[in-house]
Structure 1
Amino acid sequence: MSSMNDKFTVHFWGVRGSIACPGPETVRYGGNTPCVEMRVGRERLIFDGGTGLRVLGQNLLSQMPVEASLFFTHTHWDHIQGFPFFIPAFIRGNKFHIYGAVAPNGATIEQRLNDQMLHPNFPVPLQIMGAQLDFNDIEVGETLKIGEVRVETAHLNHPGEAVGYRVNWQDYAAAYITDTEHYGDRLDPNILKLAQDADVVIYDATYTDDEYHHPKTGKKGWGHSTWQEAVKMAKAAKVKRLVIFHHDPLHNDEFLDRMGEDVKAAFSNSLLAREGMSVEIAPSPRAIMPAHAKV
């Protein structure tokens, strides 16, 4: 039997984009904004701190003390608003290594997380957090070493900039690519590099092609892609499994059910991300736990 140190698993704690949207129409896929946890060998990696990070924090309370690396793609609200509610960060004895690129205006990841917790926006400052917080400014394009894990980085096409990540461990790889917009008929070489031959690619497919190209309400320039472009990318990069992510808050469960059928018809080894879902990459690449599974 394999131990946890032999595994590479991906856990989805928040899968929505733009704004949290809890309610009766989003029960099956979830309403929390982006937060994806990867448990890779001995390492725990967390990607983005949307409202799903609060849910992950509740889960971690039974596993104290915790050490993890937290990677931010960028700091638009939907990717950071869970951070002030991440309870393990307030508990002494825990340790979090926090990574993010310097913003175009020069603000570091520490400055931006600090600023959202200042009065009058939030009642307590970041400095109240009792855990050890180790902030790291990354140079996009560099490869980071986290124990036995290598994390590659690349620029994404998003207003205000964003970073994509590829996690490599042993012979396995998973890519986290959100928020990004495709370039017309040309595939983004940065995305292709992150996704090439990956076991799992989590990709921003906020819109459908019809929504993106709509003559009156089109989304070109908004910084997000479509599921059709996700399929093109997955085929070109020879991705083993494609996970559609960053669901539009206007897409209810029924809409996403239909989208999932369309995606699967176009790329058979694909699925739509659901809050609470787990995907096991190693040692069993085909294992998927249902959305209601306990993780």
Structure 2
Amino acid sequence: MKVRFWGVRGSIASPGPKTVRYGGNTTCIEIRTDNNELIILDAGTGIFPLSQTLLAEMPVTANVLITHSHWDHIQGLPFFIPNFIPGNTLRLHGGFDPVSGKGIEQVMAVQLQYSYFPVREEEMKARIEYVTLMPDQPIQIGSATVTPCLLNHPVVDFGYRIECNGKSVFFTGDHEPPYNIYEPGDEGFEDYQAFVDEKNNAILEAIKGVEVYIADTSYTDAEYPAKKGWGHGTFSTSIASAHAAGAKVLFCTHHEPTRSDDALELAFADALEQNAHLSTGMDIRLAREGDTYEF
């Protein structure tokens, strides 16, 4: 199995001299199974440079797994070059949105409105298919089994576990570990804590034993209190969950867009020092645009 990072920034693309080492594109990760089947995790701006490399292997069948519908995870879809070429297939997977009452098809429909993009979906030459997923119900993509796990974010958000030939990857998308919204002693604290514990245990079970864990590590511990409820994790929460799950490799991603590469490395080094008791025996890395990991 091979993992390649095409976009590792969160919230908004942030190109420039201060982000050139780790990259400025928003979330997009390429997964190749041992049979070379193509799975793409999220379609941020990083999917555009990925799509340029696919021109050498057409016709392409691209299975895109959308974690959630926020802009930084879908905004590259209209610029996915194989969409404009006959013979290709884009198969878009994602969750049902109870607010809009629509499935994953809305992420294309919204972006391809006349006011926002010059090409309508009907004018694209590739075959576009939509697969609406349900939590904890696995699907088969070629030789890979993909299981969605409902995580914690201000919109329906799936993490994905991908298993193939005994190998496994889990990607959180955007995720903030569930926490109790009540204070100790408040009415409802104990009932809500039971819900939080149950949810955290279910997430841990979904990650357990994974070889490669790719996690939202947007914030430092110092930054988190001001961002609580925004739906993102910290270096410490990701290291803790990777340790609890027995993950072999942790990639920290969704880098804060205002953080320079120098500042990112300092924050990472500080987090490793603070969490040294949890990181023994685990390979922990900063996700970097262009990096590949094969196992």
TM-score over 0.5 for the pair: yes
**Alpha carbons 2:210, 2:246 under 8 Å: kept:** yes
Verify: 1:272 aligned to 2:286, yes or no: yes
Q: Name the SS of the counterpart of 2:92 in structure 1.
A: strand
Alpha-carbon distance, 1:82 to partner: 0.3
Aligned to 2:216: 204
Partner of 1:252: 260
- Equivalent residue, structure 2, for 1:220: 228
Q: Deviations over 1:181-207 (max 9, x none)?
A: 013496822431232111100000100
**Conserved 8 A contact 1:10-1:280:** yes
Range with greater deviation from structure 2 (8-17 or 136-145): 136-145
Separation in 1, partners of 2:124, 2:137: 29
Alpha-carbon contact 2:9-2:253 (below 8 Å) kept: yes
Preserved CA contact (<8 Å) 2:235 2:268: no
Q: Is 1:87 aligned with 2:81?
A: yes
Runs (4 or more) in structure 1 with deviation over 6 Å come to: none
Question: Mapping of 1:124-163 within 5 angstroms?
Answer: 124-163=119-158
Task: Give 1:61 shift.
Answer: 1.1
Structure 2 counterpart of 1:13, from 6, 14, 19:
6
> Structure 2: which 5+ runs fail to align?
181-196
CA distance in 2, matches of 1:58, 1:15: 18
Greater helix fraction, Structure 1 or Structure 2: 2
Which segment is superposed worse, 49-58 or 266-275? 266-275
SS in 1 for 2:171: strand
Q: TM-score, normalised by structure 2?
A: 0.88
Conserved? CA contact 2:174–2:232, under 8 Å: yes
Q: Which residue number in structure 2 is paired with residue 170 of structure 1?
A: 165
**Residue in 2 aligned with 1:285?**
none
For the residues of structure 1 that align with 2:258 and 2:250, how far apart are their CA atoms?
A: 22
Q: Percent identity?
A: 43
255-264 vs 67-76, which moves further: 255-264
Number of equivalent positions: 270
Pair 178,111 (structure 1): closer, same or farther in 2 beyond 3 Å: closer
Moved more, 61-70 or 236-245: 61-70
| Structure 1 residue aligned with 2:186 | none
RMSD over aligned Cα atoms: 1.4
Residue 171 of structure 1 deviates from its aligned partner by: 1.3
Q: How many Å apart are 1:264 and its aligned residue?
A: 4.2
**Per-residue deviation, 1:24:** 0.8
Deviations 1:183-232 (A, max 9, x none): 3496822431232111100000100111002xxxx000000010100111
The correspondence for 2:205, drawn from 178, 181, 193, is 193
Higher radius of gyration, 1 or 2: 2
Which amino acid is the alignment partner of residue 33 of structure 1?
T
The Cα of 1:263 is off from its aligned counterpart by: 4.2
- The alignment status of 1:40 with 2:52, answered yes or no, reads no
Which whole-Å deviations, capped at 9, do the CAs of 1:206-263 have from their partners, x for residues lacking one? 00111002xxxx0000000101001110111100000001111011100111133234
* Residue identity in the other structure for 2:147: E
**Secondary structure at 1:202 match in 2:** strand
The CA deviation at 1:64 is: 1.3
Residue 239 (structure 2) aligns with: 231
How many Å separate the matches in 2 of 1:207 and 1:163? 20
CA contact (8 A) 1:156 1:190 kept: no
